[in-house]
Amino acid sequence: MRRPYLRIVPVITVAVLMLAGGCTSDRSGSPEPANRETVAPQTAQTAEVTVPNGSSPAKVNAPHAPMNDTDAMRSGWNHGNGDLWVYLPADGRLKLSDMYTDKDGSHRLKFGWWRGHAGKFSVTGRRLDAPAAPLRFSAQPESYGAFGFLPSYLYFPSEGIWEITGHLGDKPLTFVVQVVK
């Protein structure tokens, strides 16, 4: 009795091994991983992001701001340095929406800050995993008092791994996030 399925088993096995990352040869004949062109650089996307440190204006008893300063608001921030605070997602991913794509193609994200004292505020940012134009930001600190809550817009020219630094006077707060659609 013939068993035709026995002839197809080796073919299926080879196909599965090739799909699972088997080997190919380069021109020199040495074995190389089949996916060598798609291997990402040593920038593990989740390993590089900043893990929130748990600091908030409530925990360090920062001065009370003149507006939007409730216990819930003060404890809602999860990453800071005693001068500036932000809320970072636990997975380090900031999610963008096509709904907020500007004419130049950059993606706008509303992003909140908590300032622990008065001082000039600014934000800088750069992409770490590939070349990109720098991050842009806009905010109106004069509309929210000298310290406390401050909403801003961050304009990302592309997705990727971004290092963002908020500056309050000479006190910086730097963190790394993965920006995704």
Q: For the chain, how many residues are written?
A: 181
CATH number of the structural domain 71-180: 2.60.40.10
> Rounded distance, CA 93 to CA 2, Å?
57
Residue ranges covered by each domain of the chain: 1-39, 71-180
> Rounded distance, CA 22 to CA 33, Å?
7
pTM: 0.72
Q: What is the Cβ-side half-sphere exposure of residue 114, based on CA atoms within 13 angstroms?
A: 31
pLDDT, tens digit, 9 for 90 and up, residues 89-148: 999 999 988 778 888 889 999 999 999 999 999 999 999 999 999 999 999 988 888 999
- Asked if residues 34 and 21 have their Cβ atoms less than 8 Å apart, the reply is yes
pLDDT, tens digit, 9 for 90 and up, residues 43-59: 444 448 999 999 999 99
